[in-house]
Amino acid sequence: MINIIESNRRNQGDNDKAFLELFQQYEQDIYRMAYVYVKNKEDALDVVQEAAYRSFLKFNTLNNLQMFKTWLIKITINCAIDLLRKNKQVIHLKKEDIEFLSSSMEDIPLSLSLQDLLELLNEDEKTIVLLKFYQGCTFSEISEVINAPLSTVKSILYRALEKLRKGARRVDMYGQ
């Protein structure tokens, strides 16, 4: 399929069609990646839309279509991080929310989900863990996505896994 698309990239109309075919092939993958970052459906859909827009604008700069998925995931991650940075605002609680939270704080059980564990990681660590275990990327593919040497990718992954282990053990100590 990539060879057919490569041969169709010669004029703009075919280029647009080729992009659409490739994008639709990976749309669910980028939605899942976006959702893991932004944690809600609406923002994930916004990220997918922004990734589609950015990748469409730059599609003609992609030299190797074999790298399309990796390239698209990198764009998606960047869009998700951009959205998270943009939305990092203080949430103002109403007085009744504060009263509810303070009265029910003793009843909140200590629990930990994978999503909570991922929050222990910085952006690079989270990206590498998600690419390795969620997308099944190889170390060399991850190295290309984050534009870092292979040895750096491996070091960051092992450091991230150790943080996750320590985070899980900490919760286990409290009887969860």
Quote the pLDDT of residue 116: 73
Q: What is the rounded CA–CA span in Å between residue 137 and residue 144? A: 10
Q: Is 128 in contact with 85 (CB distance < 8 Å)?
A: no
CATH architecture classification, 110-173: Orthogonal Bundle (1.10)
Quote the pLDDT of residue 110: 42
Q: How many CB atoms lie within 10 A of CB 54?
A: 16
Looking at the chain, the domain(s) classified CATH 1.10.1740.10 span 2-87
Q: Is 51 in contact with 73 (CB distance < 8 Å)?
A: no
Tokens representing residue 84 in the block: 């998270």
Quote the pLDDT of residue 96: 53
Quote the pLDDT of residue 64: 85
Looking at the chain, the domain(s) classified CATH 1.10.10.10 span 110-173
Q: How many CB atoms lie within 10 A of CB 84?
A: 15
Quote the pLDDT of residue 92: 46
Mean pLDDT by 10 residues, the chain (176 residues): 48 74 92 88 94 92 87 92 76 50 44 69 87 86 88 92 82 52
The CATH number given to 2-87 is 1.10.1740.10
Report the phi/psi class of residue 40: left, alpha or beta, with left for phi > 0 and alpha for psi in -120 to 50: beta
HSE, side-chain direction, 13 A CA sphere, residue 88: 5
Q: Is 95 in contact with 53 (CB distance < 8 Å)?
A: no
Q: What is the rounded CA–CA span in Å between residue 108 and residue 106? A: 6
Q: What is the rounded CA–CA span in Å between residue 170 and residue 164? A: 10
Quote the pLDDT of residue 145: 85
